[in-house]
Structure 1
Amino acid sequence: MLMEADLPEDIEALRALALDQSRKLADVTVAKGEADAEIERLQSIIDAFMRHRFGRKSEQLDPDQLQLGLEDIETALGAARAAREAGTAQPKGDRPRKTNRGSLPAHLERIEQIVDIDDKACPCCGGGLHQIGEDVAERLDVVPTTFRVMVTRRPRYGCRSCESAVVQAPAPAR
């Protein structure tokens, strides 16, 4: 880098110095452009290798497998058309959730546990609570060489006076 004290006083010498500096700057700009082009070329090679290594695999489809898939689609399409013509088409999201997965066999030993509330007075008015229902949960408990069913009953209580309070003990941890 030239300092102000290093500059010549002759105008021709200054012009020559300016031309020399502009040539050096142009060389640096050309070198930078060449470096950018080289970086871009190398990046495209890396991208091509990555696509080759991690890209989609070419899967071969057997014509028999394709025919099976088409048959399934045709069957489903026919069922949908028949349901539409009959007017009984039911969207999949409107079906109620199936919660009962089957009851446990009756021959297994059952141990009942009743989880009840402590106070059977209405929290609103203080009147007496009466049982209006209960939740029953069965789960399979395995003791080595025996199976037994643990039944937990949680009575639900309601007040006859105000009919707004329903009280039930919280479920125990499983």
Structure 2
Amino acid sequence: MNEKEYQSRIAELEALLEEKSARIAYLEEQFRVAQHKQFGKSTEGHPGQGELFNEAEELVVETETAEEAISYTRKKPTRKPLPQDLPREVIVHDISDEEKICGCCSGELHRIGEDTSEKLQFIPAQVRVIEHVRPKYACRTCEKDGISNTIKQAPVPHSVIPKGYATPSLLSQIITSKYQYGLPLYRQEAMFKQ
């Protein structure tokens, strides 16, 4: 290799070194910014941000001198009513009969309207026992005569779990609580004991 080739090779390596050092500086800056975002102080303001909102004082001076007449109608915010298909219980909170007399002239007050408000009440699940009674029937005449006496009775109602206590509604509650809501069986047992 001659002198020119060495010089060109050195120039190439210096350019490559400069490019790599610029890339390293960029990555170091990105790392510093990420570290600052994660571990540094977080402030809402930035330098120079205060000057953005200096207009408030200027506007106060302007509004004192200029008067504006604004006319508009404002809608009163209202809640959506609760669904009408839910069972309802109406409780009337009325004043006593003594209070239905005017304090000025002692005349009788009459009803001019009413205010209503709806509240949603949750009644927790109820557990109850369903007792199945199956009467037995026998013939008194056959019993007296000594002929074979047959006893008649309605068949046992079908059960999801043979000889079990659980009805389909109880099983669906347990399965839903276990697999949809993640409640372990021992917690459900504690809830049923309560």
TM-score (norm. length: structure 1): 0.26
- Which structure: greater strand fraction? 1
TM-score (norm. length: structure 2): 0.24
